[in-house]
Structure 1
Amino acid sequence: MENKMTAVSLFTGAGGMDVGFERAGIKVIFANEIVKEAAETYKANHPRCNIVNDDINNVIDTMDQYRGVDLVFGGPPCQGFSVAGKMDPDDERSKLIFTFLDVVEKVLPHVFVMENVKALGKLDKWEPVREKYIDRARKLGYNCAPFILNATEYGVSQKRERVFFIGIKDNLDPFFEHHMNDCIDKQKNPAPVIRELLASLGKAGTDKNPNTCTAKITFATHPVMRKSPYAGMYFNGQGRPMNVDGYSNTLPASMGGNKTPLIDEEYLYGNETEDWVVSYHKELLDGSIIPEFKEAPSRLRRITINEAVRIQTFPDDYVFCGNKGKIYTQIGNAVPCKLAEAVAKAVVAYLQEQN
C-alpha cells in the first residue's frame, strides 16, 4: 500500500478544505483554528487529527516538529481583501497571508496551497501584495502562482470565485502555471442546479431538513431594483432570494439572521410552477404594486443549515458544534469541500506528472 501524503492545515475553520484534501488521499496530521466552536466541529469530524484551538501566532514556534510534511494548506481570513469588506491592506487579517508563509518557512513542505478571495488574485489594487507574496515564496524556494477558480465548474452549486496560491518547492518547471492549469481543468465537473441538489431534503420542518432560521422576511419599503429578480434588494436585511433553477450566490459567513438567503418553499419542494419572487419582481417593475413594510408570504423562507451544508458540499452527516448562528457562520466561512478536492487532486496529478 502506498504511503499517503501528509499535510498541516492552517486557519482550518470547520474543515471544508480538509474534507476535500482527504478525499484526494491526503492525510492531515495537524490543524490549527482560533474559533472555539469551529475547532470543536473539526475535532468531532476528525478525531484522529491533532487540532490546536489557539491563535496561529502562538503555535508558529512549535511548527518545526512538522518539518518535511508534504503539504501546508489553508484559507487565512480574507475580510481585509474582500470586495464585500473595507478592502483595507492594514487590516490585521490582511497580514495573515504572510503568517501562512511564516509557517511554510518553518515546515518547508513540498507544496503549499493558500485559498483567499478572488480580489487578492485579480484586482490591480492588490498587485503589490500579490507580488510581495509570490516574491517571498520564491525566496523560500517555491515556484508559486495564483489560480482563480469558479466553484460551479467543480461540482459546487454556488457562484463562489476564489484564488488558490499554489507553491511547489525546488520546482524548475518553466511552464508551471500552464501545466498546473491543465491539471486543474481536468478536474472540472459541472454542478447540479440548486433544485436537483436539495430535492431529496424536502420541506423545512421535517426530520431531514429541520427549520433552523426563524428570521422574519418583510418587504423593503424602498426596494433596490435590478434587472434580475435575484439581484436586487426587495426584502429586509441582506438575505437575497435564491434562484433554485440555477446556482446560489456565495453563502456569506453572516448567515443565521436576516442575511440568510431565502427560497420559495412551494416552488422548490411543492407544486407551484413559478417562483413567487419572480412575479413580485415583475409587479414592482411595471408599477402595479406599491411596496410596503409587511411580512412576505409564508412560502418564502430562509435556507436551513442542512441546505447550506449541501450547497457547500459538506457530507450530509458532518457534525457541527455551537449554536445555530455559529454553525451558519462556520458553513459560510468554509472552502467548499468539492472545490478543495479539485485543487488537491490537481496538485497530486501535477506532482505525479513531474515525477
Structure 2
Amino acid sequence: MANLGYRPVAIDLFAGVGGFSLGIEQAGLDVAIAVEKDPIHAAVYGFNFPQTHVLCADVSDLTGTHIQQALRDWCDRQRSPVLVSDRDRIDIDLVFGGPPCQGFSVMGKRQVCDKRNLLVFEFCRLVKELQPRYFVMENVPGLGLKKYQNLLNRLQCEFQAAGYEIIQPIQVLSAVNFGVPQQRQRLFVLGNQVGVKPLTYPQPQLQSPSEFCTVRDAIADLPNLDDFTELQTSDSVELTLPQLQLLQALAMPYVEKLRGIISDPFNFAYPRQWNPFLLTSSKRTRHNLASIERFNQTPPGQLESISRLQRLDWDKPCYTLRAGTGPEHGSYTSPRPIHPKYPRVISVREAARLHSFPDWFRFHATKWHGFRQVGNAVPPRLGRVLGHQVIAALGVAPSQPTSTLTLKDPYLLELGQVKASEYWKQKKRQGDFSGLGC
C-alpha cells in the first residue's frame, strides 16, 4: 500500500537557482538542504525556496556530518523534533544534483584533465557519506563520450563500492520528450541502495514532433516588451487589468499550468504567494537600428548573418539555451535567440518559459546573471519526471500541500558579488546554516 501524504526528504548538491529542486519538489519530495557555491545564485535560490535550508558553500569543503547537522536544524524548524531526538543520523530518501559540466560539454574544450570533471566524484563522496536510498546525478551528454569512458567506469565502481546499484544502461533524456518546449538533452545517472526497489528511467511522454510543445505554446501570450518604457531600467512592470486579461486569454495550456490558471494534477509543489499582475525578469535589451533591421529580415529558424543569432520558430521547440561562463572563465555570454515576432533577443522571462519555470519564479535582476541562471538549470519539468520515478520506487502517494509559501525579500535578487558574499557571511556570524557560508 502506498504511503499516503508523506513527503520524502531530498538534498540538492550543486543547486544553482533551483530548476532541479523545483522539479523534485513538484514530484512530491521536500528539498530540505540545497548547496550552492556562488553567493548570487544561492541568494536567488533562497528567495524562491523559503522552506529550504541553503548552504552557500563549496561542495568540496562539506562533509556528510555538515549536511546532517543542517538537516537536523531543518527538521527542528519544519517538522516534529521527535524525528531527530533519538538518532544521530536522519534518513535521506534522495540526493540529487548536476556537478558543473563544462569539462564534459561538447561546446567546450572537453579536456579529460579539466579539474571541474572531478566534481562528479565529490558528488559520489557525499552520497557515500550520507547514504540516501536513491541518488540522481545529472550532466551533459558529453560525459558518455568514449574519451570519458574510464572516468565514467571509475565513477560507477565508486558508487558500487559505497553500496549502490547503477541503473543500466545510463541514459540521455531529452526535455522535449517530457513537455518542455526546448531541444535539451541531459545524461542522468540513477542509483539505489542495494536491497531497495530499483529506480527506472522514465519513458518518453511525447515522441512525435507534432506532439512537442512549441515556442508559441510557451511565450505567445507575453506582451511586447517595447511597449513598456519602465523595462528599459527595471526588470519588472505592473500590468493593467486589461493587459493581464489579454495575457490570460492568449495563454496556452502549457502557460496556464505555469501561471496556476488551471490545475496540474502532477504538480505537488508548495504554492507560492505572488502577484500575477507583476511581469518579472523582463528587462529590455537595446539594439541598434542596423541590428533591428537584420533581425527583421531573418527568417524563423535561421541564423542572422552578422550576429550569428538564431531566430526562433513559433511552431517548433526552442534549441538548447546555454548559460555562457562565469567570471572565473571570462564572463562569456552565450548567444540569445531572436524572438520569433519582434526584432530583439528574448527576455529572461521568455527564456524561463522555454525552460518550464513557472511565472512566480524569479531570477537575478541583471540580465547576464538571469540568462546564466536559466541556462545552467535542469528544466523543472524534466526534473519532475525523475522525481516521479523516485516517488514510485518509494511507494509514496504524495498529497497536495495545503500551505502557501511567501517568497523572500526581492532585495536578494539584486545583490552583486560583494553584497551577496557579505549576506552569507552575516548568516554565518548569526550561527545560521550550520556555521557555513561563502
Q: Does 1:234 align with 2:305?
A: yes
Question: 2:52 aligned to 49, 53, 67, which one?
Answer: 49
Q: Does 1:97 align with 2:120?
A: yes
Compute the displacement of 1:40 (Å).
Answer: 0.8
Q: Which amino acid in 2 is paired with 1:22?
A: E
Q: Which amino acid in 1 is paired with 2:217?
A: E
Query: What is the match of residue 151 of structure 2?
Result: 129
Q: Which amino acid in 2 is paired with 1:29?
A: A
CA distance in 1, matches of 2:128, 2:21: 21
Contact 2:127/2:135 (CA < 8 Å) preserved in 1?
Answer: yes
Query: What is the match of residue 34 of structure 1?
Result: 37
What SS does the aligned partner of 1:301 have? coil
What SS does the aligned partner of 1:302 have? coil
Q: Which amino acid in 1 is paired with 2:203?
A: D
Residue pairs, 1:1-355, within 5 angstroms? 2-60=5-63, 62-65=66-69, 67=89, 68-121=91-144, 123-145=145-167, 146-171=170-195, 180-181=200-201, 184-185=202-203, 190-205=211-226, 206=228, 207=237, 208=279, 210-214=282-286, 230=301, 232=303, 234-236=305-307, 238-254=308-324, 259-265=335-341, 299-352=342-395
What SS does the aligned partner of 2:62 have? helix
Q: Which whole-Å deviations, capped at 9, do the CAs of 1:47-78 have from their partners, x for residues lacking one?
A: 12110112112222513445521110001110
Contact 2:164/2:191 (CA < 8 Å) preserved in 1?
Answer: yes
CA distance in 1, matches of 2:370, 2:335: 14
Q: Which amino acid in 2 is paired with 1:252?
A: R
- Using the size of structure 1 for normalisation, the TM-score is 0.79
CA distance in 2, matches of 1:229, 1:327: 25
When residues 347 and 322 of structure 1 are mapped into structure 2, their CA distance, relative to the original with a 3 A threshold, is: same
When residues 10 and 218 of structure 1 are mapped into structure 2, their CA distance, relative to the original with a 3 A threshold, is: farther
When residues 149 and 186 of structure 1 are mapped into structure 2, their CA distance, relative to the original with a 3 A threshold, is: closer
Compute the displacement of 1:197 (Å).
Answer: 1.4
Contact 2:166/2:189 (CA < 8 Å) preserved in 1?
Answer: yes
CA distance in 2, matches of 1:316, 1:324: 16
Q: Which amino acid in 1 is paired with 2:344?
A: R
Contact 1:218/1:235 (CA < 8 Å) preserved in 2?
Answer: no
Greater relative CO (CA pairs within 8 A, separation 6+): 2
What SS does the aligned partner of 2:172 have? strand
- Using the size of structure 2 for normalisation, the TM-score is 0.64
Compute the displacement of 1:83 (Å).
Answer: 0.3
CA distance in 2, matches of 1:191, 1:13: 27
RMSD: 2.5
Which runs of 5 or more residues in structure 2 are unaligned? Answer: 72-88, 229-236, 238-278, 292-298, 326-331, 397-438
Higher strand content, 1 or 2: 1
Compute the displacement of 1:257 (Å).
Answer: 5.6
